Amino acid sequence: MSESTEVINELLQSIGVDTVYRTASLTLLENGESRYLRDLKLNFTSTLKSEHLSAKECGLLGLGVAVNNNNLPLTNFYTKYAAEEGASGEDIAEAAACASLLASNNIFYRFRHFTQKEKYSQIPARIRMQIMMKPVTGKEFFELMSLTISAVNGCEMCVNAHEDSLIKLGTTEERIFDAVRIASLITATGKIIF
């Protein structure tokens, strides 16, 4: 067995996927004996630990990003991981709901931002967002999930609004930075394992 295959098997086992699983991307890396596989494995592992986030929060952020990216293997992994770290069914449902809500918000507000027409800012959005009013995970953490998903989806207006809200809530920049770092690594993993 090659070193690449060993690293792939370790990564797949840690995600809870059968070691025979392959995507076209994973096969390209394996056949090319890519050194990136070790980085991919280490980067994925680093999504589970943070100096500024609890393991439960890492799991819920991972789940929100995986749902947002429509990634079944990672959704299954982070659902299980978050639950093992103390997330309730309501917490887990809220991470999935946040991904769905932010998908609509990011498209809508990115459109408003891109066009920069005053008229579109005056027309009511008519997007129900009751979940944002009293989130079960708490206002600060819901804002953090919203920020990470907005960063993944590339909505500048939403990223700035959520980051501003977090700072006003007393969140440290290190906590914000680490959440976005984790979201970026989950997205990178999802480009190879999906």
Active-site residues: which are they?
155, 158
**Cα–Cα–Cα angle for 49, 53, 54, rounded to 5 degrees:** 75
For the chain, what is the HEC assignment?
A: CCHHHHHHHHHHHHHCCCCCCCCHHHHHHHHCCCCHHHHHHHHHHHHHCCCCCCHHHHHHHHHHHHHHCCCHHHHHHHHHHHHHCCCCHHHHHHHHHHHHHHHHHHHHHHHHHHHCCHHHHHCCCCCCCHHHCCCCCCHHHHHHHHHHHHHHHCCHHHHHHHHHHHHHCCCCHHHHHHHHHHHHHHHHHHCCCC
Structure-token pair, residue 19: 């070691």
User: Is 98 in contact with 127 (CB distance < 8 Å)?
Assistant: no
